Structure 1
Amino acid sequence: MNHLTIAPVDADSGPVLEVGGDLDYATAPTLRAAVTALAPAAGQLLLLDLGGLTFCDSSGIAVFVAARNHAAAHGAELALAAVPPQTVRVLGVTGLAQVLSMYDHADSAVAAHLSRR
């Protein structure tokens, strides 16, 4: 089991959380709390950089949906970056890949968001 790490970072597009380790039933509340502690401004991007994620169960997937709802409540957008292949597969099977914006890299997500301004 890999300990969950969450590192807040600021980007030109808005707040970023770099997430690493295992995201499961025991650790999902920690990520949910970190997301809800953020108050992205209207028009900003709330980015979850999952490049360090080693495991994600359904509790983690639920946090992604909650993060999308949280961002929308603030008039912001949510994007996921560097999503591990097994998590991409689950998002695809559940249909969430069509709802959640995903990018190969955090820089790509930031650039795409800034280009739409």
Structure 2
Amino acid sequence: MTDTEPSDGMSVQVDRLSVYAVVTVEGSIDFGTHERLGERLTEALALTEVALIMDMAAVSFCDSAGLRVFVRAIRETRMRGMSLVVTGLHGRVANVFAMTGLQQEMFVQPDVDSAVSWLETGQSRLAFKPEDTG
């Protein structure tokens, strides 16, 4: 399920991978796009009872409105007893997540394959350190 609206600078794709829901986001998460991302996350949560993986590798910007979407996602996955794994954090976006403490509230993996491996075995495929995000 792809939701692409190039005029607002963000696209969101929701897929199912095994028992996991994967949300791939591209572009900017901001005041103009955060509500649509929240709606797509709600759809993704209906696809899994295990874990939500958010691929942020193609996200170039996230403002406070976008961060609120992640706070709600953290709260919702915890209430459901699910894991929230964020992948691909880099650059400014990784710095914002680190500075606000959000990165400590979710599981972070370098990519979707590593997230799946970690969810299934408890071990990451790649050696990953928080400083690798910048």
TM-score, reference length from structure 2: 0.78
Q: 1:75-86 alignment to 2 at 5 Å? A: 75-86=81-92
Deviations 1:8-54 (A, max 9, x none): 1211241000000110011000000111122221xx11011011112
Q: CA RMSD in A?
A: 1.5
SS at match of 1:6: strand
Tell me the number of residue pairs that the alignment of Structure 1 and Structure 2 aligns.
114
- Structure 1 runs of 4+ with >3 Å offset: none
Partner of 1:65: 71
What is the letter of the counterpart of residue 76 of structure 1? M
Partner of 2:4: none
Q: 1:13, 1:113 within 8 Å by CA — same for their partners in 2? A: no
For structure 2, the 5+ residue unaligned runs are 1-6, 123-134
Partner of 1:16: 22
Q: 1:81, 1:109 within 8 Å by CA — same for their partners in 2? A: yes
TM-score, reference length from structure 1: 0.88
Q: Calculate percent identity across the aligned residue pairs.
A: 27
Higher relative contact order (CA 8 A, sep 6+): 1
Partner of 1:26: 32
SS at match of 1:31: helix
Q: 1:29-48 alignment to 2 at 5 Å? A: 29-37=35-43, 38-39=45-46, 40-41=48-49, 44-48=50-54
Q: 1:12, 1:110 within 8 Å by CA — same for their partners in 2? A: no
In our comparison, the structure showing a higher alpha carbon Rg is 2
- Superposed displacement of residue 84, structure 1: 2.3
Q: 1:47, 1:80 within 8 Å by CA — same for their partners in 2? A: yes
Name the CA distance, whole Å, in 2 between partners of 1:29 and 1:93: 23
Report which stretch shifted further, 51-60 or 15-24: 51-60
Name the CA distance, whole Å, in 1 between partners of 2:25 and 2:17: 15
Name the CA distance, whole Å, in 2 between partners of 1:73 and 1:36: 13
